[in-house]
Each structure stands twice: as structure tokens, then as C-alpha cells.
Structure 1
Amino acid sequence: MGVFTEYFIAERDDITAEIIESGPERNLPAEDMLLAKGVDPVVMLGQLGEQLTGADFLDIGDDEKSWLWSPGGEVPEDPELRRAFLAEHGVEASVHESKDRLRDALADIADEEVAAVAARWATIEEWGEGVTGPDVEWFIEGLIALTRRARTEGKHLYCWWSL
């Protein structure tokens, strides 16, 4: 079993309980989304951000804001209450808002740089063996298109994930 991830762009006010629970697919236009099974927004996308900017991947990949969905009900905002709640009920889905610095670094990748960026990113340990630049070029091209639109339209880059 893996983690299902879907990247999308939106304004913060567009993040609804329905999106947090079931994802953006039924709630946003198809051109605002990019399906990417298992590409986590913190470690994997953070490492791409690190390669592009030189910033530590945990810093640039960390979320600006996140929303959680749990079968136990509404997840408390207070960190202590949140930890206790999640220990008891778990989390099944989340929406992660990427930092605008990461969004902008992705948007700034020139079209002629995609192959080189993909080749370098394909070397991270999290991809496992056998992944090459051409295997991940489609994802980088999709992110570039999304992030360019997001920046132009004043939106943010999000990742919805579910177990």
C-alpha cells in the first residue's frame, strides 16, 4: 500500500472540508491538478526545491499550512490536543500547502532545463533504483505548468494525500 498524492493549485479560501477528506478531483477543474502517486511534498518535492534553490529540503519542503482529516472527527488546532487526538484516531488524509518560495522555484525552471533538472532529481534515494530523468520529466513539466499559473493567478501549490 502506498500514499496517494495529488498536486493542485488554489486559493487558501478554496480549501474545503470536502477537498481535505476526498481530494480535489471532484472539486476543482482538471487543469488545476496533477496526479502523482507517492511523490510526497516534504521530502521528495523538498529535495527538488533544495536542488533548485540551495535551501535545506526540510525547510523549503515544509508546509506553510496543513489541514488534516481523521475518521475521529475534527482535528484540534492546539498542538498538544492534536497529538493526543491523532494518537487515538489517526489521520487518513491531509492537504499540504507548499511555501511560495518552492512554488516560484518550480515556476522559474526554464523549459530547456527540464531534462537536466529531472535527471538530477531522479537520483534521490526516495525514488529507489532504476528511476531515470525521463521517468520523472512528465511530473516536473506538470508542476511547472501548475506553478506558473498559480503564481500568475495569485494561488498556492497544494498536495492532497491519502493512505
Structure 2
Amino acid sequence: MGVLTDYFRAADDGAVLAAIEHAEGGPLTGGPRPVFDGFEAKGVDPDVVLGQLIAVVRGLEWAVDLVGETPVWPTTPPPGREGPVDEDDPWATGPWVMRLARAVRDTLADLADAEVPAVSARWAAEAEELDAADGEELRPLVEDLAALARRAREADEDLYCWTCL
């Protein structure tokens, strides 16, 4: 089972909630009429894989709470949903939307173009979840994340991640 992830920028949680409700939970980027500026980054979950990139950029050891996510959607369990969630429950597979900490946005926005090749290579070496991708394969993704973060910061917006299993 793969993790589907889209990273995008938005003005605030309210804009995201309105869009996700209209899209009935579906992705908010791509397609003929994307709702938000962003892109698909399949398998790059915020906690682990993106967190490993942030650790590399900051020169830190990876930690599960490095990205600092705030749940945005769903805001509450579906009607009638009580008790623990089992694996077959759609509530357990998403989609979910998380707002990433502003420090993550700024870390990516501050990444200089000249640093991208070295950062991509270190990320590839340290993130076993990337299935032995090399730095050159990851370079476009790092460039896209940094560019999205720059646009978000310039517009005083936040970065978000839409995720579904």
C-alpha cells in the first residue's frame, strides 16, 4: 500500500477546509483545474520522509516531531464513528490534510539552489523509505519543495500536505 501525498500552499485553514469539502476529500493539486499551487510527491509523508529532508537541511538528527504538523481535515470523525478505528475503516485510510509548521516552510525556502545537489544526495543516503533513490533522482523534488516554500513565504501562506493511503 502506497502513501499518496500532495504538497501545496494556501492562505489559511479556512480556505483549505472550503476546498476539501467541495472536492469531497479529493486531491487539491493537479488535474485540469488545480485548487492550490502544489504538486504530487507520492510516498513523501511529512513525519518521516519530509522530516528526514528537513533534518538534512538543518544538520540535525531526524526526530518524529521535526516537521510539526497541525491537523486541518477532517476536523471530526464522520457521524456515527465511535471507538477505535480498524484497518478496514475508510477513516483509517484518509484522506487527511495537515498544515506544516512555518519553520519547515522557512527551512525549505532558505535552501539555496547551490545546496540542492548535496542536500538531495544526503537525503537519498539517509532516507531508506525512498527505496534507494539517488540524489539526482531526488533533485527535482527538492527543487520543487524549495520553490513552493518560497512562493508560500512570499505570499505569507502556509504549506500543507494532503495524504491518503
TM over 0.5: yes
Q: Tell me what 1:125 maps to.
A: 128
Q: What root-mean-square deviation, in Å, do the aligned CA atoms of Structure 1 and Structure 2 show?
A: 2.6
Structure 1, 48-57 or 4-13: larger mean CA deviation = 48-57
Cα distance between partner residues in 1 of 2:57 and 2:143: 15
| Aligned-partner residue type, residue 7 of structure 2 | Y
| Aligned-partner residue type, residue 15 of structure 2 | D
- Per-residue deviation, 1:27: 5.0
Q: Tell me what 2:164 maps to.
A: 162
- Per-residue deviation, 1:132: 0.5
Which aligned runs of 4 or more in structure 1 are off by greater than 3 angstroms?
85-89
Q: Tell me what 1:143 maps to.
A: 145
Percent of paired sites with the same residue: 35
Picking from 43, 68, 73, the partner of 2:74 is 68
Q: Tell me what 1:38 maps to.
A: 43
Tell me if structure 2 keeps the 8 A contact 1:10–1:158: yes
TM-score by length of 1: 0.81
Cα distance between partner residues in 1 of 2:142 and 2:5: 15
Tell me if structure 2 keeps the 8 A contact 1:6–1:35: yes
Gaps of 5+ in 1: none
| Aligned-partner residue type, residue 65 of structure 1 | P
Q: Name the count of aligned residue pairs.
A: 153
Higher helix share: 1
1:14 paired to 2:15: yes
| Aligned-partner residue type, residue 68 of structure 1 | P
Cα distance between partner residues in 2 of 1:47 and 1:75: 37
Q: Cα–Cα, structure 1 residues 126 and 97, in superposed 2: closer, same or farther, change >3 Å?
A: same
| Aligned-partner residue type, residue 128 of structure 1 | D
